Amino acid sequence: MEEQNNQSTKRKIAFVGSECYPFVKTGGLGDVMYALPRALIGLDCEVRVFLPKYACIPQKYKEKMVHRGSFMMNLCQGGREFFVGIMELVMDGVIYDFIENEEFFSWGNPYTDLFADIPKFSYFSKASLAVMNYLEWTPDIVHCHDWQAALVPIYLRTHFAPTPVGQAKSILTIHNLRFQGICGIPHMKYWTDIPGEVFNYPYMKQGADDANMMKGGLAFADCITTVSETYAKEIQTPFYGERLDDHLRYHSGKLVGIVNGIDVEQWNSETDKLLAAAYTSADVVEKKKVNKRALQEELGLDQDENKMVIGLISRLTNQKGLDLVNAILNHIVDENTQVVILGTGDSNYENSFRYYESENKGKICAYISYNEALAHQIYASSDALLVPSLFEPCGLTQLIAMRYGTIPIVRETGGLKDTVQPYNKYTYEGNGFTFINYDPSTLFDCITRAKEVYFGDREHWDEMVRRDMAVDVSWTKSAREYLNLYEKLKG
């Protein structure tokens, strides 16, 4: 009986988003969709995560999924019906409901092009809510992530308002405002069948003829969050606002910044099986050298544990400050400094980094690929990690770096500003090196300052390494903030 009572007091949270580690991940969204539900389970919530069942999900997970039912769902104007299958998997207390539809999710990649992605994620958003009703599981909160789930708050207050799930409150989290899901109004109207008034200016309409999913979702959500306090302020300005700054200022009363954490079990240098040598803060200095030599050997760099290795792990897009890196890469490396880049993305960056590698054999490695295992090894083996982003909503790589005793070198923007305190060479405080102006010479100057401490004052460098490993980058604090928000919304 008591157990039943406990059950009934659990907050029920639905997560809706387009990617989630370890099933499919292209960036930080995938990490958050994995780690935050697990942290909420630890706070006694019941969490279901709704995801598309993409063809690219590894077979070992597909084999474990259990069929929970299927039905036909009306999606478009004119009443076109689509199949909705539900495949379920439970992992560490989190229930994952994968939405199955061959027509939308048979591509290898979660994202193709916007013209195809708009129907795909319209279907996904509507199907997620339909599945909650089908399973007779009514959440307290539907927590939606980025533009791919931004129609959910709209559907919740329109098509689904008179149904059980319509009682839920909604939160829309902005992981990256640059991506909004914009297309011509007729295309959006046809696929979503959303009532005409939602296509007015206060909601989805943008410019003369476009509909914007993110804009509509922000208007309809009961609460908006983004992934750091600084980014929450920045996006209300024209420079960072991606043409939605006025809309966000209008809705600022329901906008909150909560910084991301990382899953400290997934990212743990002490138990990480992918490393040549696992380590703690007690033996980090020695073991980092072992990892460094292994990495240098694997990547064809000159093998010398005394060289400073600077890592960069990133999607290769202009958001990440790669123009700055491009401009000075030749000058960062020297007889004592190496650079390792791991990333994929825009071909101009891929090609220029490959070129710099060929010009600096043994000093630069440009590993143009997406590779989880190598990412772990670079975090562990590097002395510093470069994150010079033009904008960065939160950024996870600097948090992972700190956890692995790797000193972040970051631009002071978004979550980078909130999580990296600049090193003070007089008081020896701080946990990384930072710069403000988006300019190659400022980045160069910042890297030079890092080198000066690394080569000239190793004692304080090593102290900072150990200090960084002790920083709490887990989800503990932020998950509690989300829970408080859920409680406040539910009243």
Q: Name the β-bridge partners of 226.
A: 174, 257
**Residue 344 binds to ligand ADP (criterion: CB under 6 A):** yes
**Residue 315 binds to ligand ADP (criterion: CB under 6 A):** yes
Q: Considering only 26-34, 46-54, 118-126, 301-309, which stretch makes contact with ligand ADP by CB under 6 A?
A: 26-34
Give CA 455 to chain center in angstroms. 34
Q: Which is nearer to ligand ADP, 81 or 372 (CB)?
A: 372
Q: Which is nearer to ligand ADP, 57 or 342 (CB)?
A: 342
Q: Name the β-bridge partners of 71.
A: 84
**Residue 272 binds to ligand ADP (criterion: CB under 6 A):** no
Instruction: Look at residues 161, 193, 183 and name the one whose alpha carbon lies nearest to residue 82.
Output: 193
**Residue 396 binds to ligand ADP (criterion: CB under 6 A):** yes
Minimum gap (Å) between residue 133 Cβ and ligand ADP:
31
Q: Which residue of the chain is nearest ligand ADP when measured via CB?
A: 28
Residues 348, 351, 356, 357: what is their CA dihedral angle, to the nearest 10 degrees? Answer: 150
Minimum gap (Å) between residue 315 Cβ and ligand ADP:
5
Q: Considering only 21-29, 292-300, 357-365, 478-486, which stretch makes contact with ligand ADP by CB under 6 A?
A: 21-29
Exposed (0-12), middle (13-18) or buried (19+): which is 7, by Cβ within 10 Å? exposed
Contact, 225 vs 174, CB < 8 A? yes
One-letter amino acid for residue 372 of the chain: E
**Residue 28 binds to ligand ADP (criterion: CB under 6 A):** yes
State how far the Cα of 398 lies from the Cα of 407, in Å rounded to an integer: 8
State how far the Cα of 404 lies from the Cα of 399, in Å rounded to an integer: 9
| Kind and range of the H or E run holding 103 | helix 102-105
Q: Considering only 63-71, 309-317, 421-429, 449-457, which stretch makes contact with ligand ADP by CB under 6 A?
A: 309-317
Q: Considering only 162-170, 392-400, 442-450, 480-488, which stretch makes contact with ligand ADP by CB under 6 A?
A: 392-400
Minimum gap (Å) between residue 350 Cβ and ligand ADP:
11
Q: Of 71, 250, 370, 438, which lies in the binding site for ligand ADP, with binding defined by CB under 6 A?
A: 370
State how far the Cα of 460 lies from the Cα of 207, in Å rounded to an integer: 54
- Measured N-to-C along each axis, helices 114-134 and 185-192 cross at an angle, to the nearest 10 degrees, of 30
Q: Which is nearer to ligand ADP, 198 or 324 (CB)?
A: 324
Contact, 218 vs 150, CB < 8 A? yes
Q: Of 27, 85, 241, 362, which lies in the binding site for ligand ADP, with binding defined by CB under 6 A?
A: 27
Q: Which is nearer to ligand ADP, 404 or 454 (CB)?
A: 404
Minimum gap (Å) between residue 394 Cβ and ligand ADP:
6
Q: Which is nearer to ligand ADP, 68 or 315 (CB)?
A: 315
Q: Which is nearer to ligand ADP, 259 or 394 (CB)?
A: 394
Q: Of 17, 139, 217, 343, which lies in the binding site for ligand ADP, with binding defined by CB under 6 A?
A: 343
Q: Name which of residues 92 to 151 contact ligand ADP (CB under 6 A).
A: none
**Residue 375 binds to ligand ADP (criterion: CB under 6 A):** yes
Minimum gap (Å) between residue 378 Cβ and ligand ADP:
9
Sign of CA dihedral 59, 65, 71, 77: negative
**Residue 183 binds to ligand ADP (criterion: CB under 6 A):** no
**Residue 397 binds to ligand ADP (criterion: CB under 6 A):** yes
Size of the site for ligand ADP (CB under 6 A): 18
For residue 173, give every residue at least 6 positions away whose Cβ sits within 8 Å of its Cβ, in sequence order, or none.
143, 144, 145, 146, 224, 225, 226, 227
Quote the tokens at residue 464: 């900072």
Three-class secondary structure of residue 228 per DSSP: coil
Q: Which is nearer to ligand ADP, 308 or 375 (CB)?
A: 375
Strands 66-74 and 81-91: antiparallel
Minimum gap (Å) between residue 419 Cβ and ligand ADP:
11
Quote the tokens at residue 432: 């990384």
**Residue 402 binds to ligand ADP (criterion: CB under 6 A):** no
Instruction: Look at residues 142, 100, 129, 140 and name the one whose alpha carbon lies nearest to residue 194.
Output: 129
Minimum gap (Å) between residue 248 Cβ and ligand ADP:
19
State how far the Cα of 309 lies from the Cα of 356, in Å rounded to an integer: 16
State how far the Cα of 423 lies from the Cα of 191, in Å rounded to an integer: 52
**Residue 49 binds to ligand ADP (criterion: CB under 6 A):** no
> Which spans of this chain sit near ligand ADP (rule: CB under 6 A)?
27-29, 31, 313-315, 342-344, 370-372, 375, 394-397
